[in-house]
Amino acid sequence: MSSKPEKVHQDYPDVTVVPTLDRLLADKNIALVVISTPNDTHYEFAKRAIEAGKHVIVEKPFTIHAADADELIELARQRNVMLSVYQNRRWDNDFFQIHGSKGSFIKYGLDSQEDALKAGKRPGDPGWGEDNEKDYGELTIDVGELTVKGKVKTLTGGYERYYQGIVAALTQGKPAPVSAEEGRNTIQVIEYALQSQKEQRAIAFKSDRKE
């Protein structure tokens, strides 16, 4: 769906572009709707898609308010459709640190996929998701009285693995790679953090929904 089909067709010349959500939802051949629109439209568009019987993926943030997320989760359950949140950063390969009693692992640098997309590359292109050697993590371990350091090649990042998981969810009945409940919990944590700051007190997080 876009009001500028000519722009869409620059990258995807064979894609059918419709001007309104109603037109899209009326298409019986469409089983899955991906909502990648401004944040304040996520709840409304997702609700309309679910009510139309479509499986739905919502770009992060899932919704503005956790209560809206709860409503969508319940509606998806009633309509027996899949609802997932596109938390693609789970498939990054960027920086992190692990420290233990016998050693440490430190990884610097950012995942390459976003810059690759901006440069016009696509998943499956040569080198997709691979890390620069200079950004490989460094493992430091104690072996007896010696301290040993070495570079560890970074595992390949892959945003496309999220959609591979979606295919498995829709065709094989497997769990979605990111559940709607997980997306909802992210919003709830943010709301609790804001409430905690405002009231100057600790607030215990407790998810009241099962994954």
List C-alpha distances in Å: 187 to 13, 34, 101. Answer: 36, 19, 35
Average pLDDT over residues 46-73: 98
User: Which residue has better confidence, 4 or 210?
Assistant: 4
Residue 211 has a pLDDT of 44
Two structure tokens written together for 177: 């790679």
Residue 83 has a pLDDT of 98
Average pLDDT over residues 144-154: 93
Q: Is the peptide bond before 61 cis (omega within 30 degrees of 0)?
A: yes
Locate all alpha helices (DSSP H) within 54-179, ordered by sequence: 66-79, 113-118, 160-172
Mean pLDDT taken over the chain: 94
Residue 20 has a pLDDT of 95
Q: Measured between alpha carbons, how far is 88 from 30 in angstroms, rounded to an integer?
A: 23
Residue 96 has a pLDDT of 86
Two structure tokens written together for 65: 């308010």
Question: Which among 128, 158, 157, 162 has a CA at the least distance from the CA of 59?
Answer: 162
Q: Which residue has the tokens 């010349």?
A: 13
Strand 137-143, strand 55-59: pairing: unpaired
- 108 pLDDT above the threshold of 90: no
The conformation of residue 184, written as its DSSP 8-state character, comes to H
pTM score: 0.86
- 210 pLDDT above the threshold of 70: no
Other C-beta atoms within 10 Å of 133: how many?
A: 9
Q: Measured between alpha carbons, how far is 201 from 132 in angstroms, rounded to an integer?
A: 44
Strand 55-59, strand 32-35: pairing: parallel
- Domains in the chain, ordered, with CATH? 31-89+160-199 (3.40.50.720), 93-152 (no CATH)
Q: Specify the DSSP element, H or E, that contains 83.
A: strand 83-86
Q: What is the DSSP string of 108-146?
A: -S--SHHHHHHTT--TTSTTTTPPPGGG-EEEEEEETTE
pLDDT tier at 33 (50, 70, 90 boundaries)? Answer: very high
